[in-house]
Amino acid sequence: MVDSLNGLASVIALNSTRTAAIPGILNRLNSNLQQVRAPLVPKRVDLAAAEAAAAPIPMGGHHHPPIDVATVAPQGASVHYNSLGVMDYWLVPRTVSGMHTMVKVVPISQTNAGSFVHDVAEAKDYFLTQSGDWIAVSEVNGNQ
């Protein structure tokens, strides 16, 4: 009986030592977890910077709702994405008076016939045909 009590006392003492060590083990595991998790957590985005990056492009006094469907840029165009990865404008080739240039436009809508865009520099709307023609919206509406 004495041997049984001594064995039981030894087991209780051993369990007590292990139990006392648990908070230290948990703290070490938490520290290790924080070190492993830190690179996986993305940096928090500064809301003011994100809003500035997503600020709408000036439309020269008028407004178009943002395009909400995927568009296909015209041939030769460069598509620009803001810091949030959202497409915000195209640089589209245009020839005016024999001069070749890249024009910054904001796509408004798109059909099989072409794209309705806003020329940022001119603050005018155009319809770009699949063949690369630029038709002023006033010409389309008959308001020359």
Number of domains in the chain: 2
> What is the four-CA torsion angle of 114, 105, 136, 125, rounded to 10 degrees?
110
Tell me: do 26 and 54 sit in the same domain. no
Please tell me whether the overall predicted TM-score, pTM, comes out greater than 0.75 for this model. Answer: no
Domain check: are 68 and 137 in the same one?
yes
Same domain for 126 and 91: yes
CA distances from 27 to 30, 37, 46, 143 (A): 5, 15, 31, 74
Q: Both 7 and 74 in a single domain?
A: no
Do 16 and 75 share a domain, yes or no? no
91 and 30 in a common domain: no
Q: 12 and 81 share a domain?
A: no
Please indicate, yes or no, whether residues 67 and 134 belong to a single structural domain of this protein: yes
Alpha-carbon distance of 24 to 4, in angstroms, equals 31
β-bridge partners, 136: 126
Domain that holds residue 36: 2-40
Same domain, 22 and 64: no
Shared domain check, 126 and 79: yes
CB atoms within 10 A of CB 66: 14
Contact 55, 66 (CB under 8 A): no
The CA distance from 132 to 95, in Å, is: 10
Phi, psi of 20 (to 5 degrees): -65, -30
Ordered per-residue pLDDT tens for the chain, 144 residues = 888 778 777 777 777 777 777 777 777 767 666 655 544 444 554 555 555 545 556 566 666 666 666 678 888 999 998 888 888 889 999 988 899 999 999 898 888 888 889 998 888 899 999 888 999 887 555 544
